[in-house]
Chains A and B, each alone.
Chain A
Amino acid sequence: MDAFYASVEQRDDPALRGRPVAVGGDPDKRGVVAAASYEARTFGVRSAIPMARAVRLCPSLVIVRPNFAKYRAVSQEVFGIFRRVTPLVEPLSLDEAYLDVTENAWGEPLGTRVARRLKDEIHEATGLTASAGVAPNKFLAKIASGWQKPDGLTVIPPERMEHFLQGLPVDALWGVGPVTARKLRARGIDKLVDIRATDATVLRETVGSLAEWLQQLAQGVDDRPVISDHDPKSSGNESTFAEDLRDLQTIRREIQEMAADAAAWLVRHERYARTVTIKVRYHDFETITRSHSDAPTRETDAIVKRALTLLERTEAGQRPIRLLGVSVHNLGTEIAAPPAEPQGRLPFDDEQVMSG
C-alpha cells in the first residue's frame, strides 16, 4: 500500500488531502514518523525519522496520531482480497505481502494481470492505491514493487531479469543496509552483479554469512517459497526410504501410518479434510499423486481407508518405490459439507503426473 497510514488518514479526512501529512508521535516527546504522505515526502519527510526533524523539514506538516485499529481493519480488507485470489499470501507487515499467483482463483495466466486486478479491487474496496511488483521470485518482486510509487506496477519478466539485475545497486537489496553497502563499496562492489566477479572468500570476509545469499541473488536466484501464515490449507508428510520398497504389505503399512499421522494432525488442529492425496515416487524418480475427495472427515479409519484405496491406483508392488507421502487438503472447521451443489461434477480424477 502506498504511504499506508497517511493515505488512510487522508482518505477519511478530506481536509488532509493534498497536504503534507505525517502519522506518528508527538514531536515534543521524541515521537517518530510512522508514515508520511507523498506531499510530505517531497519535503524529505520519511518514515522512522524523528517527528521534530520532520517538522523542521516541513513546517506546514500536519501531524496525525496513529489509529492502528483502523489501519488493521483496512489491512484485513486488503488481505481478504489477496486470499480470495490465492492462499499463498505471506504478509511482511500490515500493508505489504508476497503473493504466489502461479495458480490463482481468477485463472489469469499472467502475473501482471493478477497484479492489475488486485490493484483495481483494492482501490475499489478501500479507495487506496497500492504498488505491485511482478517477478519470477521474491527478491525481484520486492524491488519491483518499490520501483514506481505510488500506484505503480512494475513487471520483471524472466527474459528481462538479467537486464534488471545489471542496473541494480547493492543497497537496493532487502537486508543490505547502509553499513553492509558501505563495506561492499569499499571492496569495489557497487552493483549487485559485481558480486559475481568477487572472490567467495573475500565476500565472506566482508559480509559474513550474507555472502552465499548475495551470490545467489547476484545470479537472480531466489528460491524462497511464499509461505502463507494463514489457515493451514493442507498437511502431510512423506518419507524417502533408505532402500526402495517392493513389498506391498510394507508399502501399505507405511501409507497406513502416514494416513494415521495426518488424521492426528487434523484432530490437533481442529480441522476436517475433504481430500486425501497420496504421492508415490518410483525408483526411477517418476512421481505421481492420486487424490480422492469425499465428505469431510478426520477419522483415522476413514482417512487410512481412502489412502489405501488410492494406493490401488498406483503400481505399488510392481515397481520399486523410493518415496511415499500422504497429505490431506480442502480443510474446513465444520464437519458438515457445504450444501450439496445441485449441478454434478464430471468424475475427473484429481490426479496429475508430476515430474520427479
Chain B
Amino acid sequence: MELVVRKNDLLRELQLFQGIVERKNTIPILANVLIDANGSQVKLLATDLEVALRSTCSASVAKSGSLTLPAKKLYEIIKALPETDVRILEDKSGVRVAADHFDSRIQTLPREDFPSLPDATGNGRAALPRSALKEMVAKTQFAITGEDTRYFLNGAKFVMKPDSLTLVATDGHRLALVEVEHKLGVKEESGVILPKKTLLELGKLLLEGDDDVMFESGENHLFFEVGGRMLISRMIDGQFPAYERVIPKGNDKHIEFDRERLTNAVKRVALLSNERSRAVKLEIKKGKVDVTSSSSEFGEAREELSVDFTGAPLTISFNAQYVLDFLNVVDSDVVMLSLKDEVSQAVMKPVGTKGYDYTYVIMPMRI
C-alpha cells in the first residue's frame, strides 16, 4: 500500500476515531484503525466491538491495499506534523508514515485480525433530522447511568413513532426525555436502546454539517450515517423501564424561573451544601423562592429569587447536580418547575422552545 493524504484531511477523521478505539487494550487489534486505500480515497474503520466508525478521506493512492495502525499513535503523529502531505506506505521494513523531513516506522497488526463488521443493508432506512437529533442527544445523554447492574439503564431508549421521535434516558433518580415531531413514514412504533458510548460518539459526529442522518436498525446493530461517516452500534438487549409511568401528569404548582438566575443561584448555594448529598432546598413562598443549603462542616447559604407564585408555601430539596445538569443543556430564557408536593417527582421544562419538547423529571431528596 502506498498513499499520500493531506495532513488536515486525515487528522480530522482520526480525531473522530479517538473515542472509538478501545483503551484497555484487551484485544490489541481493537486499538488499531483499519486503513484501506483504493482509487482516490482511503477508508478508515475502528471499533471496540460496541461501537464502530467507518469514514473516508480523499487521498492519492499509488498502490492500493489495506493495513492496520494504532489509532492513538497515528493521531498523535499526524497531529504533530506540519500542514503538508503525509505519505503512508508499506514496504519490506514495515509500515512507514512520513512527511516533509519526518520519517517513522510504526508497528502494525495483521489486517486479518481485524473484526468484520456488519454492513447496513439499506432496508428500512429512515432519514432523521440532524438538528432534532442533536438536541435529543445533547439533552438526554447525561442522564444515563455509568455503571448500573440494570444494564439496560446504561443506554438511552430511542422510540420512533409514526409522527414523532423520542429519546429518553434515566438513572433511576432523574429522567430526561426529548420528543420531536417528525413524520418518519413508519406505520408502527418501534424502539431500541442505544449504549451511552454510541450517543457520545453520535453527538460528536453531529457537530459539523447539517444534512439528515440516515438511520437503519439491523438485527443486532444500529447504523447511523452522518455526513458520509457511518457509526455502527450494538443494541443493548433488555427491557427499558416503562418511563411514561414516572412522568407525572398532575403536577399543579408551576413556577417560572429566569434560567440564568436560577442556574447561578443553585451553583452558588450548592457550594455550602452537604458534600455527599449535594442537596439544595427550594423554599417556595408567595412571590419568591429561597434557594438554601446547609453543611454541618462549612455553614449555610441562601439566595432569594423573585417569582410569580401565589399558592401555599412548599419546600422541596433536590440534588444540585441534577438541577444543574438540566439547566446546563437548555437554552431558553425561562424554565418552568412543576410540582405536586414535597415528595413526588418534579418536572422541569424549558419554556418557549421550538421544534422539540423537553421533559426532565427529578425525584426530590427526602430531608
Interface residues of A (CB under 8 A from B): 103-107, 109-110, 112-113, 115-117, 153, 155, 340, 342-349, 351-353
| B38 CB-CB contact with A under 8 Å | no
Q: 5 tightest CB-CB pairs across the interface, nearest first? A: A344-B363, A348-B241, A107-B147, A346-B246, A116-B26
A324 to B174, CA, bound (A): 34
A335 to B246, CA, bound (A): 29
Q: Would you call B147 and A105 a contact (CB within 8 A)?
A: yes
| B172 CB-CB contact with A under 8 Å | yes
- Tell me whether A110 and B50 are in contact in the complex, defined as CB-CB below 8 angstroms, given that A344-B366, A348-B245 are known contacts: yes
Q: Which residue of A lies closest to B26 (CB)?
A: A116
A344 to B367, CA, bound (A): 10
Q: Would you call B151 and A109 a contact (CB within 8 A)?
A: yes
Q: Would you call A344 and B147 a contact (CB within 8 A)?
A: no
Q: Would you call B367 and A345 a contact (CB within 8 A)?
A: no
Q: Would you call A348 and B154 a contact (CB within 8 A)?
A: no
Within 297-350 of B, Cβ neighbours of A (below 8 Å) are at 319, 343, 345
Chain A residues, Cβ within 8 Å of B364: 344
Q: Would you call A348 and B146 a contact (CB within 8 A)?
A: no
- Tell me whether A109 and B195 are in contact in the complex, defined as CB-CB below 8 angstroms, given that A342-B277, A352-B239 are known contacts: yes
Q: Would you call B365 and A344 a contact (CB within 8 A)?
A: yes
| B226 CB-CB contact with A under 8 Å | no
| B236 CB-CB contact with A under 8 Å | yes
Q: Which residue of B lies closest to A153 (CB)?
A: B26
A353 to B240, CA, bound (A): 11
Q: Would you call A348 and B246 a contact (CB within 8 A)?
A: yes
Chain A residues, Cβ within 8 Å of B204: none
Question: Which of B27, B146, B236 touches A112 (beta carbons < 8 Å)?
Answer: B27
A112 to B28, CA, bound (A): 12
- Tell me whether A346 and B173 are in contact in the complex, defined as CB-CB below 8 angstroms, given that A103-B149, A107-B151 are known contacts: yes
A187 to B188, CA, bound (A): 58
Chain A residues, Cβ within 8 Å of B24: 113, 116-117
| B279 CB-CB contact with A under 8 Å | yes
Q: Write 8 A-B pairs (CB below 8 A) sorted by A numbering.
A: A107-B151, A112-B27, A112-B49, A343-B277, A343-B363, A344-B364, A346-B172, A346-B175
| B145 CB-CB contact with A under 8 Å | yes
Name the interface size band of chain B.
Answer: 35 or more
Chain A residues, Cβ within 8 Å of B174: 346
- Tell me whether A342 and B154 are in contact in the complex, defined as CB-CB below 8 angstroms, given that A107-B147, A109-B236, A347-B246 are known contacts: no
| B11 CB-CB contact with A under 8 Å | no
Residues 267-302 of B, flagged 1 when their CB comes within 8 A of A and 0 if not, give: 000000000010100000000000000000000000
Chain A residues, Cβ within 8 Å of B242: 348-349, 351
Q: Would you call B27 and A109 a contact (CB within 8 A)?
A: no
Residues 159-191 of B, flagged 1 when their CB comes within 8 A of A and 0 if not, give: 000000000001011110000000000000000
Chain B residues, Cβ within 8 Å of A353: 239
| B234 CB-CB contact with A under 8 Å | yes
Q: Would you call B146 and A107 a contact (CB within 8 A)?
A: yes
Residues 238-274 of B, flagged 1 when their CB comes within 8 A of A and 0 if not, give: 1101110110000000000000000000000000000
Chain B residues, Cβ within 8 Å of A153: 26
| B361 CB-CB contact with A under 8 Å | yes
Chain B residues, Cβ within 8 Å of A348: 172, 241-243, 245-246
A212 to B7, CA, bound (A): 61
Chain A residues, Cβ within 8 Å of B27: 112, 155
Q: Which residue of B lies closest to A157 (CB)?
A: B49
A351 to B363, CA, bound (A): 20
Q: Which residue of A lies closest to B30 (CB)?
A: A112
Q: Would you call B361 and A346 a contact (CB within 8 A)?
A: yes
A104 to B148, CA, bound (A): 8
Q: Which residue of A lies closest to B171 (CB)?
A: A346
A103 to B174, CA, bound (A): 22
A103 to B153, CA, bound (A): 12
- Tell me whether A107 and B363 are in contact in the complex, defined as CB-CB below 8 angstroms, given that A116-B26, A347-B246, A348-B172 are known contacts: no
Chain B residues, Cβ within 8 Å of A347: 245-246, 345
Distance from A118 Cβ to chain B, minimum over Cβ atoms (Å): 11
